[in-house]
Amino acid sequence: MSVPRLSLHLASFAVVALMLVGCADTGPTPAAALPDEVGAVDTDPTIAVGDHWFAPEELVVEVGTEVTWVWEGRAVHDVAGDGFESDVFAEGSFSHTFETEGAYHYVCTLHPGMEGTVYVVPEGH
């Protein structure tokens, strides 16, 4: 293999590597430690999925609680966090039971900035 051809292959490899870095997954991060104060446990573990928003953006539940996201808007969305991910759809609901204490950040993978957090606290918090 001649030097110019080798250089061409190396340059092609570098371009592909840079493209892959630019397409790296910026999805949800693993459950983090709880902050010092998260507030009281919410009595309704339901999160509305609207057109480019989650409400509430933060929810506090005890370990073992099933949280349900309910689609209320017209656009398609999904919910993706550490250890859970819904399908993409425009109506219906998705549920996940949180078995481990921590802060679970989640996103809609289709819409940057559409995100929320479920804080899972020990029973009796």
Domains of the chain by residue range: 46-121
Give the phi and the psi of residue 16 in degrees, each rounded to 5.
-60, -45
pLDDT digits (tens, 9 = 90+) for 65-107: 999 999 998 999 999 999 999 999 999 999 999 999 999 999 9
- The second-level CATH assignment, the architecture, of 46-121 is Sandwich (2.60)
Question: Which pLDDT score, from 0 to 100, does residue 107 have?
Answer: 98
And the tokens for 8?
């061409």
Q: Which residues contact 89 (CB under 8 A, 6 or more apart)?
A: 71, 76, 77, 78
45 contacts 68 by C-beta, under 8 angstroms: yes
Instruction: Compute the distance between CA of residue 119 and CA of residue 87 in angstroms, rounded to an integer.
Output: 22
66 contacts 100 by C-beta, under 8 angstroms: no
pTM score, whole prediction: 0.74
